[in-house]
C-alpha cells in the first residue's frame, strides 16, 4: 500500500495538462507562440468563440496581423493592457502551435452546435403560430448554411483535377430543348438545375416567351408557371392563340371565324393533355413558390419553374432593399 493512502481507496489517475486545456485559449496561445503565423492557418471568426472576451482578443490579433504588426506577448500586452496578465497565462497554457488547426476545428464544431441548438429553439418557438412553409424554409436555409460552414476548404490544383475531368467531358450532356432552334444551337437547350433570366423592356413579349418555354418544357414533364401579373384567363387566352395559331386580336375581340373555332377545338385537345401548372396569385412569396414546387415534385416530378417575373415576388423580410431580396430569390 502506498504510504499516506487510506485503506480501501484507489489512487486517482493523474490529470494531464492537455485534458484541462481550453481549445479557445489554445488558439490564442498558439498565435502568440508562433508570433502570429498560426493565423494563416485559421479561418475562424470572432463569433465562433464561446468566450466573448477571447473572441474580441482574436479579432485584435487578426487586425494586428493584417497591419503587419509584430505579435508576441509584449506587443499584445501593450495593445491590450487590460489583458496583460492573461496574455502570459494563455501563452504558458498552450503546449504547441503545431496543432492550431485541430484546436480550430474543435472551436468551429462547438460554434456550429450552438447554432444548431439556436435553430432548433427557433423552430420550436415559431412553429405553433407562424406560416409553416416559412418556418420550414427558414430552417432549411439555416441548416444549409451550417452544413456549408462545416466543410473545411482544401487546396485543389488543376494538376490534380485535369485527369478526372476527362470523365466529365465524356459524360453525355442532358439538355431540355427550347421551342427555338436558334437558341438550342447557341446554348444547347435548358440545362437541368440552371437558372435563365429573360430581360427586355416592358411590353415586348417577355411573358409570351416565358409561357412558350414553360408549355414546351411541360411536354417533358410537370412545369410550374408562376404569374404575378396576369390571371389564368389571360394566360390561357395566350396559350390558345399560341397552340392554335389564331390571331390574338381575334381572341380578345371575340371576332372568330369558323376556321378559328376549328383550330381552337383542336388546340383544346392538346391543352387538355398539358402538364403545365399555373399559379396566378399576385402576392406570391419565394416560400409560396418553393412550397408549390415541392408539391409538384412529390406528385409526379418537376421539370422546370418559370416565374413572371422575379421583381414582383413579395419579400418575406420587411424593410430589405429590393436588390437584396432579389439576390435571395436567385
How far is Cα 320 from Cα 122, in angstroms, rounded to an integer? 21
Local confidence band at 2 (pLDDT 50, 70, 90 cut-offs): very low
Residues 194 and 284 in one domain: yes
Within the chain, how many helices (H) and strands (E) appear? Answer: 15, 3
Residues 222 and 96 in one domain: no
Residues 239 and 122 in one domain: no
Residues 71 and 209 in one domain: no
Q: Is the pLDDT of residue 1 over 50?
A: no
Q: Please write the tens of the pLDDT for every residue from 250-304.
A: 898 889 999 999 999 999 999 998 999 999 888 888 878 888 888 888 887 899 9
How far is Cα 303 from Cα 329, in angstroms, rounded to an integer? 19
Residue 25 contacts residue 45 (beta carbons within 8 Å) = no
Q: What is the CATH number of the domain that holds 271?
A: 3.40.50.300
Per-residue b or e along 179-215, where b marks 16 or more CB atoms closer than 10 Å to that residue's CB: eeeeeeeeeebbeeeeeeeeeeeeeeeebebbbbbbb
Residues 136 and 193 in one domain: no
Domain around 288: 181-329
Residue 153: what pLDDT? Answer: 54
Q: What is the CATH number of the domain that holds 33?
A: 1.10.860.10
Paired residues of 280 in beta bridges: none
Residues 196 and 315 in one domain: yes
Residue 6 lies in a domain: no
Q: Is the pLDDT of residue 7 over 50?
A: no
Residue 141 lies in a domain: yes
Residue 195 lies in a domain: yes
Q: Report the domain count for the chain.
A: 2
Residue 72 lies in a domain: yes
Residue 64 lies in a domain: yes
Long-range contacts of 59-64 (CB under 8 A, 24+ apart): 61/28, 61/31, 61/36, 64/36
DSSP string, 28-84: HHHHHHTTTGGGGG----GGG-SSHHHHHHHHHHHHHHHTT---SHHHHHHH-GGGH
Residue 161 lies in a domain: no
Percent of the chain with pLDDT over 70: 87
Question: What is the reported pTM?
Answer: 0.56
Residue 140: what pLDDT? Answer: 82
Residue 289 lies in a domain: yes
Q: Is the pLDDT of residue 324 over 70?
A: no
pLDDT greater at residue 149 or residue 29 = 29
- Averaged pLDDT of the chain: 83
Average pLDDT of the segment spanning 24-48: 89
pLDDT greater at residue 254 or residue 148 = 254
Residues 316 and 207 in one domain: yes
Residues 192 and 116 in one domain: no
Average pLDDT of the segment spanning 31-55: 90
Q: Please write the tens of the pLDDT for every residue from 55-82.
A: 999 999 999 988 889 999 899 999 999 9
Q: Please write the tens of the pLDDT for every residue from 170-224.
A: 888 889 999 999 999 999 899 888 889 888 888 888 888 999 999 999 988 899 9
Residues 197 and 114 in one domain: no
Of 97, 106, 95, 115, residue with least CA distance to 24? 106
Residue 99: what pLDDT? Answer: 87
Residues 121 and 210 in one domain: no
How far is Cα 177 from Cα 206, in angstroms, rounded to an integer? 18
Residue 45 lies in a domain: yes
Amino acid at each position: 500500500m502506498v504510504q499516506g493512502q487510506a485503506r480501501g481507496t484507489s489512487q486517482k489517475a493523474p490529470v494531464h495538462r492537455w485534458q484541462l486545456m481550453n481549445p479557445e485559449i489554445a488558439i490564442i496561445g498558439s498565435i502568440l507562440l508562433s508570433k502570429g503565423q498560426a493565423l494563416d492557418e485559421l479561418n475562424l471568426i470572432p463569433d465562433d468563440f464561446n468566450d466573448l472576451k477571447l473572441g474580441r482578443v482574436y479579432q485584435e490579433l487578426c487586425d494586428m496581423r493584417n497591419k503587419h504588426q509584430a505579435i508576441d506577448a509584449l506587443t499584445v500586452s501593450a495593445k491590450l493592457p487590460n489583458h496583460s496578465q492573461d496574455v502570459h497565462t494563455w501563452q504558458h497554457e498552450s503546449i504547441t502551435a503545431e496543432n492550431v488547426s485541430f484546436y480550430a476545428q474543435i472551436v468551429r464544431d462547438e460554434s456550429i452546435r450552438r447554432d444548431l441548438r439556436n435553430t432548433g429553439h427557433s423552430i420550436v418557438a415559431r412553429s405553433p403560430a407562424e406560416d409553416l412553409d416559412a418556418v420550414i424554409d427558414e430552417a432549411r436555409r439555416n441548416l444549409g448554411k451550417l452544413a456549408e460552414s462545416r466543410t473545411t476548404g482544401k487546396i485543389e490544383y488543376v494538376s490534380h483535377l485535369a485527369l478526372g475531368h476527362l470523365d466529365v467531358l465524356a459524360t453525355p450532356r442532358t439538355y431540355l430543348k427550347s421551342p427555338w432552334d436558334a437558341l438550342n444551337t447557341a446554348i444547347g437547350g435548358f440545362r437541368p438545375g440552371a437558372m435563365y433570366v429573360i430581360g427586355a423592356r416592358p411590353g415586348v413579349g417577355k411573358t409570351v416567351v416565358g409561357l412558350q418555354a414553360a408549355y414546351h418544357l411541360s411536354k417533358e414533364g410537370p412545369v410550374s408557371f408562376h404569374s404575378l401579373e396576369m390571371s389564368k384567363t389571360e394566360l390561357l387566352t395566350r396559350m390558345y392563340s399560341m397552340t392554335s395559331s389564331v390571331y390574338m386580336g381575334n381572341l380578345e375581340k371575340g371576332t372568330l371565324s369558323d376556321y378559328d373555332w376549328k383550330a381552337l377545338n383542336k388546340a383544346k385537345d392538346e391543352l387538355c393533355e398539358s402538364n403545365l401548372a399555373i399559379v396566378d396569385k399576385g402576392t406570391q412569396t419565394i416560400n409560396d413558390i418553393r412550397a408549390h414546387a415541392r408539391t409538384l415534385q412529390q406528385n409526379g416530378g418537376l421539370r422546370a419553374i418559370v416565374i413572371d417575373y422575379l421583381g414582383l415576388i413579395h419579400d418575406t423580410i420587411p424593410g430589405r432593399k429590393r436588390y437584396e431580396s432579389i439576390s435571395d430569390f436567385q
